Structure formats: structure tokens, C-alpha cells
Amino acid sequence: MHGVVLASKKRVDVREFPDPYPGPNEVVIETKASALCRSDLSTYHGESVLEEKDEKKEEVIILGHEPCGIVKEIGPNVKDLEEGERVAVYLAIGCSHCKYCRSGYFMLCPKRKCIGDDVHGGNADLLLVPAENCLKIPEGMSFVEGALSTDKVGTLYHAVKRLGISGRDKVAIFGVGPMGSVGALIAKAFGAVVYVVDSVESRLYLMNKLGIDQQIDASQYDPVKVIQDLTKGEGVDVAIDCSGNPIAENNALNSVKKLGRVAFIGESKKLVIDPSNQLI
Ligand SMILES: [Zn+2]
Ligand SMILES: [Zn+2]
């Protein structure tokens, strides 16, 4: 089979790999779609905020942690999947036994592996994964939509649920690239009034077209001031940063009301905050 690898900084190669075959509790997926993540771009440019890889590691890993496809082959003991079924693949592989895995949080498992990073990912003809990582997708959902549902939509859906966002809330989202824009749509679907902040005009235009309540251009206005004005000086109930930019992260903390909720989704390495003023 063919697989896409990062040969070196800013160089992507298509290479030949042996076809995988499924062991116990595993399946092989014929990949139909595999989304590009912002983290792939950072890795490509050599600017990843994730922990550095061991350079001496010889095995080259096929990229792609947001895949979707058709079950091609089933290993022993797999009970609830059949060949030909359409599935999206969840990215984190856990040990299946620890308290995190048993409560569904594979990504918090101390032995966690990530497809497209620790083991071969979905940018290939075929993908070998544990059967429990396969999420059946409904008839009307395309493979591309299925791929996007795993990381982009899944991460923000989970954040919105954890934050308890509802029709009682005003929510500000900082950074509306793929993640933030999905978060805005999900928060809106949960009934919240949603303000989005970005400095890229085309993103704000799209948010306006998709019915988001208020777009704030951070290149023109001070977003904290605009949000304070919109909320009569009180601040929003919830602020979510999806940019990883320390200025936006501080703006999120400064925009939220007392007893508000804040989530940082965008990855960043360092952040200086002012706890006495921002958290108390
Ligand atoms: Zn991702
Ligand atoms: Zn585990």
C-alpha cells in the first residue's frame, strides 16, 4: 500500500508499505478520507508545540489522525463490526484497562498512542486500528464529514458539553479557524448567544453567513472592550480560546464574568496570566 510520510522538514513523500493484517480485536480500514489538522501543519513547518520526537527512532510513521473509511478486514474476536461498514476512526489508542480507558477517555491513558504519530495513521490506502476505535457513521454522512467529526467536531463538542453551555449562556470564542468555527456552531446549536473574535476577515464573514450572533475583528477593535460593552460590563458566561495565542488566551480570561467558565483548546507552550485580577 501507499502511505504519506514527513520525510524531513517541509518535505512530504509517498512511500510503499506492506499491507497490514488485523490481529485479535483489530480491523483494517480502507481509507476514503483523511483530514489535515493544524498540528500536521506545525509538524510540517517544524514548529510543533507537542513534545519532541526521538530523532533516532528509525521507523517512519504514516501521518493522518482524522481518518474515515470502510471496514475491509476483521481480526479474531471482533464482534460488533462487519466488513463493508462505514466508520470514522478515533485517534487515541489506549490500554483498555486503566481507569481513563474504562471511562472512555483513551486520550488520557498513560500508555496512550496516537494514530498518525505513534503508530501508522490514515494518510494511506489501508489503516490498522483496534476495533473499539471505529465509530460507525450514519448513511447520510459523507466520508469527509466523518473524518472531520473525529477530532475537530469531537473536540469542540466535548468542550461545549464539559462547559455545560446552554441557552442561558453568552459565549465568546477566540480564533475561528476549523476548531473555533465548529465550536461556535455547536455552542449556537446548544442555544447560546455566540460572539466570535478573529483578525482574519474571511473567517468572520463565514461566521456571519452561518448565523453566529456577533463577529469581532481583533485587528480593528479591542475584543475585551467590545465584549464588555455587549454584556453591559458584566462579561460573557463562557470564553473559549481556540488560537493558542497568549494574547487571545488572556483576552478570554479578561472577557469572562465572575464565576464564568474558560477553556483553552488551542495548544501553546507558555502563558503568563494575572491570577489575582483574572481569576478572583
Ligand atoms: Zn488534529
Ligand atoms: Zn488506559
Q: Which of 154, 188, 210 is where one domain is finished?
A: 154
Give the strand pairing for 236-241 and 256-264.
parallel
Q: Which of 94, 119, 154 is the last residue of a domain?
A: 154
Residue 135 and residue 150 in contact, taking contact as beta carbons nearer than 8 Å: yes
Report the pLDDT value the prediction gives residue 82, as an integer from 0 to 100.
96
The bound ligand whose nearest atom lies closest to the alpha carbon of 130 is 2
Task: Report whether pLDDT(136) > 60.
Answer: yes
CATH (domain of 122): 3.90.180.10
How much is the pLDDT for 268? 81
Q: How far, in Å, is the centroid of ligand 1 from the Cα of 38?
A: 7
149 C-alpha to ligand 1 centroid (Å): 11
Ligand nearest to the CA of 150: 1
Q: Is the pLDDT of residue 214 over 70?
A: yes
How confident is the model at residue 269, as a pLDDT? 81
Q: Are residues 146 and 252 in the same domain?
A: no
Choice among 54-63, 183-192, 253-262, 266-275 with the minimum mean pLDDT: 54-63
The answer to whether residues 136 and 251 belong to one domain is: no
Asked if 163 and 104 count as a contact pair (C-beta separation under 8 A), the reply is: no
The C-alpha torsion from 46 through 52 and 54 to 57, rounded to 10°, is -50
Task: Output the CA 28–ligand 2 centroid distance in Å.
Answer: 22
Do 149 and 168 have their domain in common?
no
Cα of 107 to ligand 2 centre, how many Å?
8
Is 175's pLDDT higher than 80? yes
CA 132 / ligand 2 centre spacing (Å): 13
Centre of ligand 2 to C-alpha 98, Å, is 4
| Co-location of 64 and 190 in the same domain | no
Domain shared by 132 and 227, yes or no: no
* Residue 267's CATH number: 3.40.50.720
The Å distance, Cα 221 to ligand 1 centre, comes to 30
d(CA 194, ligand 1 centre) in Å: 24
In the chain, the number of structural domains is: 2
27 CA to centre of ligand 2 in angstroms: 19
Q: How remote is the CA of residue 175 from the centroid of ligand 2, in Å? A: 32
Residue 215 pLDDT more than 60?
yes
Between the CA of 130 and the centroid of ligand 2 the distance, in Å, is: 13
Q: How far is the CA of 276 from the centre of ligand 1 (A)?
A: 34
Is there a single domain that holds both residue 148 and residue 263? no
Give 258 Cα–ligand 2 centroid separation in angstroms: 36
Q: In this structure, are residues 33 and 69 in contact, taking their beta carbons and an 8 Å threshold?
A: yes
Q: Give 27 Cα–ligand 1 centroid separation in angstroms.
A: 22
pLDDT at 9: 86
Dist. CA 100 → ligand 2 center (Å): 6
Residue 52's pLDDT band (cuts 50, 70, 90) = low
- The closest ligand to the CA of 98 turns out to be 2
Give the number of whichever ligand sits closest to the CA of residue 267. 1
| End-of-domain residue from the set 126, 154, 182 | 154
Q: Do 13 and 131 fall into the same domain?
A: yes
What pLDDT is recorded for position 7?
Answer: 87
